[in-house]
Structure 1
């Protein structure tokens, strides 16, 4: 990792990292709510979702997604 030239650079970096963490949490929260709504409305099932996750993971990584 690149060293920081000043303590202020480090503070700004940590602040940006915190902002990214908050943004990531919000996006995951919205995504989770949308998935639950789709399931509640009967548009998809949990099994279909798990199958699609495994399929996409296989395409992207070449390794099987561990099914619970």
Structure 2
């Protein structure tokens, strides 16, 4: 087997992972910015965020029977 395609595939995968990491950072930054502005303007409170986050987390967490 020729090792060159394997190395190129690894480099491609590393590049894709870096792109995903950057996109995740940008999304997290945007969400944090929006939350901060909404709290500063008195539209929502930190408690509102915590409450809704807990509800959403509970609804998205798989329930295990047993």
Q: Which has the higher helix share?
A: 2
Measured on the aligned residues, the alpha-carbon RMSD in Å equals 1.4
| Unaligned residue ranges in structure 1 (runs of 5+) | 64-68
**1:2-60 Cα deviation digits (max 9, x unpaired):** xxx51000000000100110110011001100000000010100001101101111111
TM-score, structure 1 as length reference: 0.80
Which structure would you say has the larger Rg? 2
TM-score, structure 2 as length reference: 0.82
- Runs of 4+ that moved beyond 2 A: none
Count of paired positions:
59
